[in-house]
Structure 1
Amino acid sequence: MTAAGHRARKRFGQHWLVDERVLDRILAAAELVPGDRVLEVGPGRGALTERLLAGPLQDLVAVELDRDLVAGLRQRFGGDPRFHLIEGDALEVPLRAEGVEPPTKVVANIPYNITGPLLERLVGRLDRPVQPAYGRLVLLVQQEVGERIRALPGSSACSALSVRMQLLARCRSVCPVPPRCFAPPPKVMSEVILLEPLPPQELLAPAVARQVESLLRRCYASRRKMLRNTLAGVLPPEDLSRLAAEAGVELAQRPQELSPAQWVALATGLNRLSCVPTSG
C-alpha cells in the first residue's frame, strides 16, 4: 500500500497536515542551512519530508511507527542518500541513524496522546536536560499544549509544564493551525511552536533543578490552594515566611501566579536552609 492511499489510523492519532501555507511556515521556522541534520518525527505521508529534502540539509532522519506508511516513504524517498528512515515508536527507538551524525534540529508533528513523554525525550527534564541539545525544535502540537508551554504567570494556562519548559528552552508560537488544515480534521485547534533549548551555562544546577521539580509537584497537585497551605510543613512558619520574602513571593499566592525565576529562588533558598546545621 502506498502512503498516498493509506487511511488514517485513530490508534496512532494520525491527522496529516495538508495546508501548504502551514507547511511553509514550519519549514521557515526550521531555518535550514547547509550542514543541518534534521530529525522528523511522524513523517506520515511525506508532505513535509518532501519539502525538507528540497532544502540544503545534510541528512534527514525520519521516525515512523506505521509500517504501511514506512513502505510508502521508502518507495518515495529511498533513492535520496540523505534520507534515513527508522521504523518504530519515537519514545523507544534510537533517534539517530547508524553511521550518521546525530540530528541538530527537530521537526515533529506530535501525536497528541504522547506529547508529554515525547517532549521529555526531545528536550529533557529540569534535572536531566537532553545534552547535547538540539539547536531548535519546530513542533506541531495541540493548541492547548502550546498555550501551556509559553503561558505567563497569572494566566489560567500557566502550569508546571510552563515552568519546566521555560527553564529549559525559549518558547514561542509560530502560527495557529485550525482543523481544516488536516486530513482527517481533528476536533481541536493545533499550533506550531518553536523551542530553542537554553545553552548549558543557563540551565539550572542539578540540586536546584531537583528542588524546583519537587516544589512544582507539591504545589501544582493543589493548584487552587495558597502557597502557605501547600508548603506547610516544608519549613517552620517563620522560616517559610522569610524564605518567601527573600524569593519575592507572597504566601497568599497560588502556584500559577509564580514566575519560573521565583520557583528557582524558592528552590535555591530551600536548599541553602537545608544545608544550615542546627544548633544544640
Structure 2
Amino acid sequence: MSASTDSLSDVIKRHGLDARKALGQHFLLDPAITGRIAALAGSLDGRHIIEVGPGPGGLTRSLLATPAVSVTAVEVDTRAVAVISELAQSHPARLRVIEADALKEDLSSLTPAPRQIIANLPYNVATPMLIGWLHQGKAWERLTLMFQLEVAERICATPGSTHYGRLAVISQWCADCAVVMKLPPGAFSPPPAVWSAVVSIIPKAEQPSPALFKAMEQVTAAAFGQRRKMLRGALKSVGGEKLLATTGIDGTRRAETLSIEEFDLLAKAHLNR
C-alpha cells in the first residue's frame, strides 16, 4: 500500500500524523468535500497549482484528479512531507513537494503562470499569508482558500457591517472576493471549534503598486485602529487633515462607513502628499 492508495485514516496512523494545534492543523478527509473545493477553483486545465499545508494529502489527491499541469505542495511539517513525498512517487511528473514555511517563501517563484493557490490554510497563519499574496496580485490567477468562517466574513464584509475592517478593504481593493462554501466543524479531523468557509479571491486586472499598497496599509491601520473615533481624529498619524481636505471626505465619519473607493482616494492622497 502507499500514500496514493491507502485511506487517509490509514496514512495518518502509519505516519503518526496527528493534527497539531501549534500548526493550526485540521484535516479534510472526505474526498467528496475536497473534490468540491478543487472544482470551486474553476477549470484547472493548463494551470499550475500551489497547495499550502497539504497535511495527509486529501485535497492534494483531488487536485491531482483535475487536468492541472502540476501541483506543488508546500509543507512545514516533516511528518506530512513524508506522506506527500510518497504520493509524489505515484505522480512524479505532476506533484512536487517542498518542505518550507510558506510565510517565508515567494510562492510565485515556484511555478510558471498561469498559477493558482488552492489550500485548506493553517488557521493560525491564514491572514498574514493572504495579505502577502495580495501584495503579489498580478502573480495569481485565483486563490481558493479555506479560512475560519469569521475570517472569511471579514474578507468579504461590506461597509457598515459588523465584520468590515482592514482585511475587507485591502482584500476587496485588490480582488473580487466571495464566500463559495461553508463547512461545519464535523467536516474536519479533529473538528475545530468554529465553522469554516472557502473564499474565492480573483485578483483585479489593475493592481496597486507596492508603494500604494503600503500607503493603503498605513491608512487602514490608522482608520480602523481606533474604530470609535471620527476620521479626523483616527487619521492624525497619517496627516489626516490634509488627506480629508484633498479627498473631500467628511472628517466626522467613521472608518466603517467608508467605501473601498473612498479608501482608495485616501491611500492615493497619502502616497502623494
1:187 Cα deviation from its structure 2 partner: 0.6
Which residue identity lines up with residue 47 of structure 2 in the other structure? D
2:181 paired residue number: 175
Structure 1 residues 4-153: aligned runs within 5 Å? 4-5=12-13, 6-80=17-91, 81-95=93-107, 101=112, 104-124=115-135, 130=136, 132-153=138-159
1:269 Cα deviation from its structure 2 partner: 4.2
Q: Is the 8 A contact 1:39 1:103 kept in 2?
A: no
2:267 paired residue number: 267
Change (3 A) 1:269 1:173: same
Partner residue of 1:215 out of 216, 219, 233? 219
3-state SS of paired residue (1:112)? coil
User: Which is greater in Rg?
Assistant: 1
Structural RMSD (CA)? 2.5
Q: Is the 8 A contact 1:208 1:268 kept in 2?
A: yes
Change (3 A) 1:217 1:73: same
1:171 Cα deviation from its structure 2 partner: 0.4
Which residue identity lines up with residue 180 of structure 1 in the other structure? G
Q: Is the 8 A contact 2:183 2:195 kept in 1?
A: yes
Spell out, residue by residue over 1:144-171, the C-alpha distance to the aligned partner (whole angstroms, 9 max, x if none).
1111111100011011111111111110
Which residue identity lines up with residue 184 of structure 2 in the other structure? P
Find the aligned partners of 2:68 and 2:119 in 1 and give their Cα distance: 16
Which residue identity lines up with residue 89 of structure 1 in the other structure? D
Find the aligned partners of 2:87 and 2:237 in 1 and give their Cα distance: 61
Spell out, residue by residue over 1:207-227, the C-alpha distance to the aligned partner (whole angstroms, 9 max, x if none).
544433322121211111111
For structure 2, the 5+ residue unaligned runs are 4-9
3-state SS of paired residue (1:152)? coil
1:162 paired residue number: 168
2:6 paired residue number: none
1:73 Cα deviation from its structure 2 partner: 1.7
Q: Is the 8 A contact 1:208 1:264 kept in 2?
A: no
3-state SS of paired residue (1:158)? coil
Which residue identity lines up with residue 95 of structure 2 in the other structure? F
Which residue identity lines up with residue 66 of structure 1 in the other structure? D
1:32 Cα deviation from its structure 2 partner: 3.1
Change (3 A) 1:97 1:79: farther
For structure 1, the 5+ residue unaligned runs are 125-129, 275-280
Find the aligned partners of 2:94 and 2:217 in 1 and give their Cα distance: 40
Q: Is the 8 A contact 1:226 1:251 kept in 2?
A: yes
Partner residue of 1:195 out of 198, 201, 209? 201
1:193 Cα deviation from its structure 2 partner: 0.4
Q: Is the 8 A contact 2:138 2:207 kept in 1?
A: no
Alignment: residue pair count: 261
Find the aligned partners of 1:163 and 1:236 in 2 and give their Cα distance: 18
1:194 Cα deviation from its structure 2 partner: 0.5
Find the aligned partners of 2:243 and 2:108 in 1 and give their Cα distance: 47
Find the aligned partners of 1:41 and 1:241 in 2 and give their Cα distance: 41
Q: Is the 8 A contact 1:61 1:97 kept in 2?
A: no
3-state SS of paired residue (1:84)? strand
3-state SS of paired residue (2:102)? coil
Find the aligned partners of 1:150 and 1:65 in 2 and give their Cα distance: 28
Change (3 A) 1:271 1:8: closer
